[in-house]
Structure 1
């Protein structure tokens, strides 16, 4: 089962979504409070529809941005070497994020 991990770095809170194989498939921006980070996770869970993902190819790498209903980026993927790997990452988020547990490492 996938897991959202909340952690602190540089005085901010962040989340990363780890797939059941341990790979990071999506990460957040920095938040000033843990509550804001938790709200970001809730937004990810509420916005798991295929239309909320923007795929891209840049500098030889594939990736995606996860977009909230208000147009804000709520998560960014890791970089992938193939479009197929990127698309698999999107499918993992769509399938696993809505019910993923949260682990607080902060």
Structure 2
């Protein structure tokens, strides 16, 4: 499920797995419509392997970003201890995002 939240005058969202764990977080958007477009972009791009970019942080942990076709980052993962954990996170996005409902939360 995508949770859409308003923070001040901006919007952002997270994608949660069935167990409630956050799989990815978005950037901040100026409007609700822009955030909804970000969700739609993730749903559209998550099946394309080239949309995901894995990185290693300075502390050695692994994380990834999902990018739109224009190269803009539309979602970022948590930090993972291993590459296999990060890959499992990507697979979770592929499984959960396409048909996920959008819920607005306070």
* TM-score range for the pair, normalised by the shorter chain length: over 0.9
Q: Where do 5+ consecutive residues of structure 2 fail to align? A: none
Shift of 1:5: 0.2
Runs of 4+ in 1 over 6 A off after TM superposition: none
Question: SS where residue 94 of structure 1 aligns?
Answer: helix
Q: Where do 5+ consecutive residues of structure 1 fail to align? A: none
Q: How many residues align?
A: 104
Question: SS where residue 97 of structure 2 aligns?
Answer: helix
Which TM-score applies when normalising by structure 1?
A: 0.93
Deviation per residue, 1:18-51 (Å, 9 max, x gap)? 0111110111000011111001100111101111
**What does residue 94 of structure 2 align with?**
94
| Shift in CA distance, 60/97, structure 1 to aligned 2, threshold 3 Å | same
